[in-house]
A and B are shown apart, each in its own frame.
Chain A
Amino acid sequence: MSSKDKTWKEISIAGVCPKSSESFKTGDWKTYMPILDTEKCIVCLTCVMLCPDGTINWIPDTNKISFDYTFCKGCGICANECPAKALTMKIDNTEG
């Protein structure tokens, strides 16, 4: 809890969200994070399609894959499914 959390009198009833889901940085749940070996990556986009949280994106200009770790929960589906074995799950040592 932090001092900016509101009291029961200040919030809407029934848990109606005052914020968009984009503002909830759920990435801090993860224990492991996927790390990409760009040498091995064949840009097949399997990980992009299978990420349940839409945190993996394809950058058309560079034809590269990028990860949004602020929402990645570290489920490991991407690493498990990568046909090129370009993704490995490593302990998340980042803060927050």
Chain B
Amino acid sequence: MAQQNKKTLAFNGDEAVAFAVKQCNVDVVAAYPITPQTIIVERFSEYVANGEVQTQFVCTESEHSAITASLSASTTGARTFTASASAGLALMHEMLFVTSGSRAPVVMAIANRALSAPLNIHGDHSDSMAQRDSGWIQLYVENAQEAYDSIIQAYKIAESCDVSLPIMVGLDGFTLSHSLENVDILSDEAVTDFIGERQLPQVLTHEGKSVPFKLDPKNPMTMGPVAFQNYYFEFKRQQEEGMKNALKRIQEVNSEFAKISGRCYGNGLIDKYKLEDAEVIVVCAGSTSGTLKVIVDELRACGVKAGLLRLRTFRPLPVEDLKNALKNAKAVAVMDKSMSFGGFGGAIFHEVRHSLYDSPVHPPIINYIYGLGGRDYSPSELRIVFDDLAEIAKTGDTGKQVRYLGLRE
């Protein structure tokens, strides 16, 4: 049932995130400013100053401290939020692993931005792709509306007892973070009812008691001890189980959210756009998908069987969904807004191509690195991708598998 009294506000992506965090009744926000994320915590600090939220706002001296404070607060059972980008996320690197290993369901928005050098403040996916193996769930959104919706969903996903993992929601720097859009919002009550109170898994303490997993003087427990050769491996395997459970939970939360908002994003993992009979398919994450949908429509009007697969969830990787969605394609192109230097193409290409390995039929697949450091990509340039795919589908010859779009060669 869609919401009865629909309310629409004008937000840029960052403001949409801040508004969602406000409605999620977050206990602690610890953050350090960095472009293009700054608006998120700047706007949120206004909510704090105005007394619109009861949140404890912690101004830290670095991103390393911001994530550490968020993790620490989370271990007391508090609902926490932080945000970062680029160099800030890179500085958090060490603590990202501690957060996921501590099973702290911290929610973090990333306004995706390039990494230095050369210095660049504009949008690409280099920052979060570099954190691929840090044990965080990763969602990439298409627009400000989805940024708002995904932050709300993120708490419900991360705080599920059988997941209990941190989650980062990536929105493209400037393209989404600073662009004004109409965003349909839910009422505060609807959000409160949807995410509920934070859930805590049960753990067994040294006193032999089964208690909720949080630091509590009434039920003392040791968190973050050493685990060497005899136990470390087992704890890592538990985290992997949390990721597997997240694969299911993301889909459930996506469906539950559709009931209160009327909006859903594919199955939560992948968003299929005109894929049923598609022969030439582009796989993409983030805001470029919006432009690609327009191109798919144009090509469909000309009789070309084009389709788009938007990868919304990158971690956990929806291998089966990718395999099924691409099995009948005649040619596939994967778009990567980051480099894996010395690798064979970008991160998304690696993962999508690897997902298809066990399929009986492999569609020819190519990779486009594009948009690095905020390099613009016009609809006409993106059309080149489909033109190339049509040629590959006809000849069966992939030619150069890793290509660059919009690069002066």
**Contact residues of A with B, CB < 8 Å?**
1-2, 5-8, 11-21
Contact = CB atoms under 8 A, between A and B. Distances in A.
Contacts of B207: 20
Nearest to A6: B234
A13 B234 contact: no
A14 B234 contact: no
B237 A12 contact: no
B210 to A, nearest CB: 9
A17 B231 contact: no
Contacts of A13: 103, 164, 201, 203, 213, 235, 238
A14 B230 CA distance: 15
A21 B206 CA distance: 9
A17 B206 CA distance: 6
B235 A14 contact: yes
22 contacts: A1-B230, A5-B231, A8-B233, A8-B235, A8-B237, A8-B238, A11-B234, A11-B235, A12-B203, A13-B201, A13-B235, A13-B238, A14-B223, A14-B235, A15-B225, A15-B231, A16-B203, A16-B223, A17-B206, A18-B205, A20-B207, A21-B206
- 10 A-B pairs closest in CB distance: A12-B203, A17-B222, A8-B234, A8-B237, A14-B103, A20-B206, A16-B203, A13-B103, A12-B204, A1-B230
Given A1-B229, A21-B222, A16 B213 contact: yes
B395 to A, nearest CB: 49
Nearest to A12: B203
A58 B88 CA distance: 51
A72 B134 CA distance: 36
A83 to B, nearest CB: 34
Contacts of B238: 8, 11, 13
A26 B204 CA distance: 22
A4 to B, nearest CB: 10
Interface string B69-85: 00000000000000000
B224 interface: yes
Interface of B: 101-103, 164, 201, 203-207, 213, 221-225, 227, 229-231, 233-235, 237-238, 241
A67 B201 CA distance: 41
B230 A18 contact: no
B101 A14 contact: yes
Contacts of A21: 206, 222
Contacts of A6: 234
Contact of B222 (A1, A8, A11, A16): A16
Given A11-B238, A16-B221, 13 more contacts: A1-B229, A1-B230, A5-B230, A7-B234, A8-B235, A8-B241, A11-B231, A11-B234, A15-B223, A15-B235, A16-B213, A16-B222, A21-B206
Contacts of B235: 8, 11, 13-15
A17 B225 contact: yes
Nearest to B100: A14
Given A6-B234, A8-B234, A8-B238, A15 B205 contact: no
A14 B231 CA distance: 11
| Residue with the highest number of chain B CB atoms closer than 10 Å, among A5, A14, A16 | A14
A15 B103 CA distance: 10
A6 B229 CA distance: 13
A20 B209 CA distance: 12
A17 B225 CA distance: 7
A80 B131 CA distance: 45
